Amino acid sequence: MRLLDFLYAEPQGHSWVQFGELALALILSSLIGLEREFRAKSAGLRTHTLVGVAAALIMLVSKYGFGDTIVRYAVVLDPSRVAAQIVSGIGFIGGGLIFVQRDVVRGLTTAAIIWLTAAVGMACGAGLPLLALFVTGAHFLVVFGYSRLANRILSERAEVHVHYTPGKGAVEKVMQACTGRGYVIQELAVEPAEGAVEGETRAIQFHVTGRRGVEALVVAIADIKGVVAATLAPQQQKE
């Protein structure tokens, strides 16, 4: 019976194949982490590398770490249960990267890339290097290619007019609202201050470039304390 147990036991996983799988996970997750590091994101090179290598190691443990406890016809283990826990556990790291600032959600893309890095590591540990390479390449395609495509197809340019009461910091808050929502401010024009009466409303106009849906930005600007009115230029208003 012991001979049968030895023949049907899982390999121990202490070979150059497994070290190669870990090395591939290290390289691919490092490449993804470098992209995040260059963009100065909260999770950079070290975080992504550790996530990818750890996921690969857990997959290898799932595949080979229980060979000494498996007895044919007596003990049966499901390696996919360990892999499923990686998917669940990585959510704690991803959740810590997402935060809200001035009604703007940040960190979603980085959290998604952390999840993708874990998947790449899992593929390496499972012995699926081609899938890991493909997904890593897809990551760079999405991050660099889709950003340019979205900017060309989904971007919008609008002229915004804002009337405000001086002395309440309204202009600074308007600028923060625009940049916080991902818009770039261009061609800012401020009404001259000579002869202004205290409490009198003033006006500024500026162009913003960014994602579509600038109407929501105008509504947010109108709700700022000190802003009397915020409108789009006539050609930007929808019928």
Strand partners, 155: 211
In the predicted structure, residue 4 carries a pLDDT above the cut 70:
no
State the Cα–Cα distance between residues 216 and 182, nearest whole angstrom.
Answer: 12
Q: Dmax over Cα atoms in the chain, in whole Å?
A: 101
234 or 139, greater pLDDT: 139
Per-residue pLDDT tens over the stretch 184-200: 887 788 765 544 445 57
| Helices within 126-213 (DSSP H only) | 129-140, 147-153, 170-180
| Whole-number average pLDDT of the chain | 77
Which residues, listed in sequence order, are joined to residue 209 by a DSSP beta bridge? Answer: 157, 184
Closest by CA to 120, choosing from 108, 137, 96, is 137
Amino acid at 232: L
pLDDT at residue 177, as a whole number: 83
pLDDT band at 228 (very low <50, low <70, confident <90, very high): confident
- Among the ranges 96-100, 112-116, 163-167, 222-226, which has the highest mean pLDDT value? 112-116
What is the mean predicted confidence (pLDDT) over 40-51? 84
Whether residue 56 contacts residue 21, with contact meaning beta carbons closer than 8 Å, is answered with: yes
Q: And the tokens for 112?
A: 């998604």
Contact (CB, 8 A) for 171 and 204: yes
23 φ, ψ (degrees, to nearest 5): -65, -40
pTM of the model: 0.60
Q: List strand residue ranges (DSSP E) for the chain, in order.
A: 99-101, 104-106, 155-164, 184-190, 202-211, 227-232
Q: Where on the phi/psi map is residue 74: left (φ > 0), alpha (ψ -120 to 50), or beta?
A: alpha
- If one counts every other C-beta atom within 10 angstroms of the C-beta of residue 164, the result is 23
Closest CA to 117 of 18, 32, 174: 32
Cross-strand partners of 211: 155
Whether the pLDDT of residue 8 is over 50: the answer is: no
CATH topology of domain 155-236: Alpha-Beta Plaits (3.30.70)
How long is the chain? 239
Given this model, what pLDDT does residue 90 score? Answer: 81
In terms of pLDDT, which residue wins out, 204 or 181? Answer: 204
Parts of the chain belonging to CATH 3.30.70.260: 155-236
- Between 76 and 135, where is the model more confident? 135
- Which tokens go with 197? 């009466």
pLDDT, tens digit, for every residue of 203-224? 888 888 877 778 888 888 888 8
Can you give the pLDDT at residue 150?
A: 67
